[in-house]
Amino acid sequence: MPTVARDGEFRFIVHTDELPFEPPHVHVRFGGQEVRIELEGGTFMDEPPSGKYRAILEAYARHAKEIRATWARIHESIKGGEVER
């Protein structure tokens, strides 16, 4: 589970063993909690805690290109993984 970006309290992680039916996404860990964000639209797959919604999305936006490129590199051998924007 490589950490692909850090931004303040947020750690963005790409799992290498995801289920094949899930959309491409990144895990965001912070303060003992975790949410997932879809790479295509930058939308939450899990409800973020109150007061963190905007901060998480802003942090994701700052690193989105790097996160998507890393996800594609990790998963290309698994399923062809093109998630570039």
CA distance 8 to 11: 8
pLDDT value for 81:
46
Interval 41-57 mean pLDDT: 95
Cβ contact 24:38 at 8 Å = yes
Residue type, 83: V
Task: Tell me the CA end-to-end span of the chain in Å, nearest whole number.
Answer: 23
Question: Sheet containing 33-38: which strands, arranged edge to edge?
Answer: 3-7, 10-13, 25-30, 33-38
Most confident of 39-43, 56-60, 69-73: 56-60
Residue 85 has pLDDT above 80, yes or no: no
CA distance 85 to 66: 10
